[in-house]
Amino acid sequence: MILEVAVIVLFLLWAGTLAMFMAYIRAQRRIAAQQVEGDALRDQRIKDLAKRVDDYQNGNVRMGEDLHELRAVVGPLPDKLAQLEQRDPSSLSFAQAARLVGMGASVSELTQSCGLTQAEAELMSKLHRS
């Protein structure tokens, strides 16, 4: 009888161990499936972020190219401005005449200092005083 009880106890222990092992296997499979889902989400996020970084880099490259073009356009402007400022004082520009009007110069002063005709001086005076 003790042998029968021992066999029954051992069978119950074996069945319990087997049930626990099967539960452990199911839990491990569930964890593995969750990890696969998490890995897929992470991989998708990495792809999305890589695309955003590429778009950002391409935008920066285009902006750099545009800045380079602007530098080429704007670079010679100081030299041109210096040339304009060094022109013969007898041929003052309309912009300089406008500055004189802003400082309160009269029509006769504009005709004398800028070499404008009477009509040009009057027009400059009316335009820039209003």
Number of domains in the chain: 2
98 vs 13: CA distance, rounded Å? 107
Which percentage of the chain shows pLDDT scores above 90?
Answer: 55
Domain that holds residue 114: 88-130
Do the Cβ atoms of 97 and 110 come closer than 8 Å? yes
72 vs 126: CA distance, rounded Å? 38
In this structure, the answer to whether residues 95 and 45 fall within a common structural domain is no
pLDDT 10s digits, 78-127: 888 777 667 655 555 677 788 888 888 888 888 887 778 888 888 888 88
In this structure, the answer to whether residues 4 and 47 fall within a common structural domain is yes
What is the predicted pLDDT for the residue at 128? 76
In this structure, the answer to whether residues 78 and 22 fall within a common structural domain is yes
pLDDT 10s digits, 50-82: 999 999 999 999 999 999 999 999 988 888 877
Do the Cβ atoms of 115 and 92 come closer than 8 Å? yes
